[in-house]
């Protein structure tokens, strides 16, 4: 019987090596998604407090700069291979799919209780996903960003209308774009050297 017939233990050397590889991949790909959604949220929030052309220009600038950095760093986050890496990939894929479904279904359900719950409910699903990715892959910054989004969703429940839209969207954009920028900086500085990161970050 081969060693691969046994389930991979969370603390095994193969699993830890896969986590290091997925740490870089999750920062790269996850950072790209954070840039996209951060830019969209920035445009939506700024459109409430500024002319539309200003909102669109800021969103486009954030999107262009973020994706340019992600493209330059693409070699630092290749897709990991191996049994342990596939196990982690399944977990991350399922979690991402679940978040996408939840961000579409949960707002519809909570809207029945009040429109002011819609935006915070979307933010909290993103926050929970980032916290989970941090737990699975040990990614720096994403855990902190996830908890900040969860706290933001709770803090803005008392707002409504344009005030809530502006505060939720702009604050979420700042968190997402800052997390992506910090992750890209980590990849450029330390990720290529396979440096690990403290689990609590």
For residue range 107-145, what is the model confidence (pLDDT) as tens digits?
A: 888 877 777 788 888 999 999 999 999 999 999 999 999
Q: Per-residue pLDDT averaged across 39-45, rounded?
A: 93
What pLDDT score does 64 carry?
A: 92
Q: What is the pTM of this model?
A: 0.84
Please state, rounded to an integer, the average pLDDT across all residues of the chain.
Answer: 85
**Residue closest to 102 by CA, chosen among 133, 123, 85, 131:** 123
CB-based contact 126:98 (threshold 8 Å) = no
- Of the listed ranges 35-39, 79-83, 147-151, the least confidently predicted one is 79-83
Chain Cα centroid distance, residue 105: 19
What pLDDT score does 160 carry?
A: 80
- Asked if the model's pLDDT at residue 81 lies above 80, the reply is yes
The whole-angstrom separation of Cα 166 and Cα 201 is: 28
CB-based contact 31:184 (threshold 8 Å) = yes
Burial class (CB in 10 A: 0-12, 13-18, 19+), 112: exposed
**Residue closest to 35 by CA, chosen among 182, 139, 181, 151:** 181
**Residue closest to 130 by CA, chosen among 176, 181, 86, 169:** 176
**Other CB atoms within 10 Å distance of the CB of residue 92:** 20
Distances in Å between the Cα of 66 and the Cα atoms of 8, 85, 160, 197 are 36, 26, 31, 22
CB-based contact 18:82 (threshold 8 Å) = yes
pLDDT in tens, 143-200: 999 999 999 999 888 788 888 899 999 999 999 999 999 999 998 886 545 444 444 4
Burial class (CB in 10 A: 0-12, 13-18, 19+), 4: exposed
């Amino acid at each position: 019987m081969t060693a691969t017939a046994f389930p991979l233990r969370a603390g095994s050397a193969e699993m830890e090596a896969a986590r290091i590889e997925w740490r870089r991949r999750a920062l790269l790909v996850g950072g790209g998604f954070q840039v996209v959604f951060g830019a969209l949220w920035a445009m939506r929030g700024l459109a409430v407090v500024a002319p539309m052309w200003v909102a669109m220009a800021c969103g486009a600038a954030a999107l262009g700069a973020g994706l340019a950095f992600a493209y330059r760093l693409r070699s630092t986050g290749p897709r990991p291979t191996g049994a342990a890496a596939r196990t982690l990939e399944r977990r991350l894929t399922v979690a991402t799919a679940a978040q996408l479904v939840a961000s579409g279904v949960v707002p519809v359900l909570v809207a029945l209780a009040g429109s002011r719950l819609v935006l915070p409910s979307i933010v909290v699903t993103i926050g929970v996903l980032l916290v989970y990715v941090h737990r699975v892959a040990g990614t720096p910054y994403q855990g902190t960003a996830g908890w900040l989004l969860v706290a933001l969703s709770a803090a803005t429940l008392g707002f409504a209308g344009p005030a809530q839209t502006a505060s939720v969207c702009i604050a979420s954009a700042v968190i997402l774009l800052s997390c992506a920028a910090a992750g890209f900086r980590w990849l450029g500085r330390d990720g290529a050297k396979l440096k690990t990161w403290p689990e609590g970050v």
